[in-house]
Amino acid sequence: MNTIRRNPPKPAPSRISGTLKVRTRDTTEQTAPTAREDSEPARKPAPARADKPAPKGRPAREQGRGEQGQARADREPRRTERDQARGERAAGRTERDPARKERDGARTERPRTERDGTRGARGPGRDDSTRAQRSESAERGPRPAPARSNTADAPRATPERRRADAARPAEPHVERPTRVPAAAGEVPPEGVRLSKIMAERGICSRREADEFIERGWVFVDGKRVSELGVRIDPDARITLAAEAARTQQQRVTILLHKPVGYVSGQPEPGYAPAVSLIGADNQFDCDTAQRFHPSQLKNLAPAGRLDIDSTGLLVLTQDGRIARQLIGADSEIDKEYLVRVEGTLAENGLDLLNHGLWLDDRPLRPAKVEWINDDQLRFVLREGRKRQIRRMCEQVGLNVVGLKRVRIGQVKLSDLPLGQWRFLREDERFG
């Protein structure tokens, strides 16, 4: 519980005169007149009021202000004496140095804002040599920033290094000769890439060629080549090591009778890829051929497309040579289809199906198309664009209701059941 005392004890009067750590000055002390005192009227020191009790009714705050004013008055004479001593020392240096005297005189004649280029004079007692250096720097203008180096750890260039670089003459501009591209069909003088020649000759695919080169299984004119990107003469003799031949023999090619509803390439939402049908359970030639091993699915890719609504022969292979033979840009392997249609054929529709139609702003290669019965056509094509047969029939008034591929080159679907697969035999060739 808080209580209020009616008669609180009175504090003893303070015996400290002025502000703490400030020495009192005898009012009778006389100081020499300075330049500042000549230009400004002398301040009269305020009388000391520490010992004099505050008048009745005067607040204690005003009494504190009086003490602070007395302290400032006590410090002012000491500042004046200190500034006068510094001015005398600067004047002595100027008298001893005639050049400094001339500079100081010239600086005095100019306005204060032009004296050092920034703020003018800082007051008495500053080092004149420092102000002279600032004035000369301002007259010369700002110094250009040094160029930055791209290397973080590069040492700073010394003044001698910079002067030597500035004195060095500029290097003359040399125009490089324009490279003229080789004419069409002309072989560059440095040769052709080894992997490209191997693929063109049907030795292997370019990917397989790079693999064989890295393993050192390729010989050019009897010399082993193990570096990628090597260029050789197009007529050079290329041979493979026995290890490469065995590797190619181990790579399999599979023939699948694809059902409707499976995609031949990349899987689509809601549909399974055709490669998912390859397994030991549905191998057709398990009694006469090698047994299936899961490692044979590695790098197994379809060589050609077959639409999701189509059925028939689909080739999946690990051998780049076969893939290039079937789907390469220069492939001459033909493919045979049985197509069931409905609708009314245009007057010259059969002729157009054989040759004369365009797809995707490009003409189609000649084909062989003929009637088998009233509602079935046989197509023999040498190219395979997306949904090509269906789009060809639409242009002549027909609608495809069933499509089956029965042959690729010399390999036929034959009696392979729907949804099953077999290995390509050693005596079978597509072309």
Encoded tokens for 226: 């193990």
| Confidence class for position 143, pLDDT limits 50, 70, 90 | low
More confident residue, 265 or 153: 265
Question: Could you write out the three-class secondary structure of 391-411?
Answer: HHHHHCCEEEEEEEEEEECCE
Residues 258, 403 contacting (CB under 8 angstroms): no
% of the chain exceeding 70 in pLDDT: 56
| Confidence class for position 334, pLDDT limits 50, 70, 90 | very high
State which amino acid sits at residue 405: R
H-run or E-run covering 340: strand 335-343
State which amino acid sits at residue 287: D
Question: What is the set of active-site residues?
Answer: 307
Radius of gyration of the chain (CA): 52
Q: What is the pLDDT of residue 373?
A: 94
Q: What is the DSSP string of 238-269?
A: EEE-HHHHHHHHHS-EEEEEEPTTEESSS--T
More confident residue, 300 or 35: 300
Per-residue pLDDT of 15-28, as tens digits, reads 655 555 555 555 44
- Rounded CA gap, 314 and 407, in Å? 9
Q: What is the DSSP letter of 114?
A: G
Residue 289 has pLDDT above 70, yes or no: yes
- Rounded CA gap, 418 and 73, in Å? 116
Per-residue pLDDT of 366-422, as tens digits, reads 999 999 999 999 999 999 898 999 999 999 999 999 999 999 999 999 999 999 999
Most confident option among 14-23, 120-129, 214-223, 240-249:
214-223
Cite the beta strand spans of 74-174 per DSSP E. none
| Confidence class for position 245, pLDDT limits 50, 70, 90 | confident
Provide the whole-model pTM.
0.53
Mean pLDDT of 65-74: 61
- Return the exposure string of 416-426: e unless at least 16 CB atoms fall within 10 Å of the residue's CB, then b: beeebbbbbee
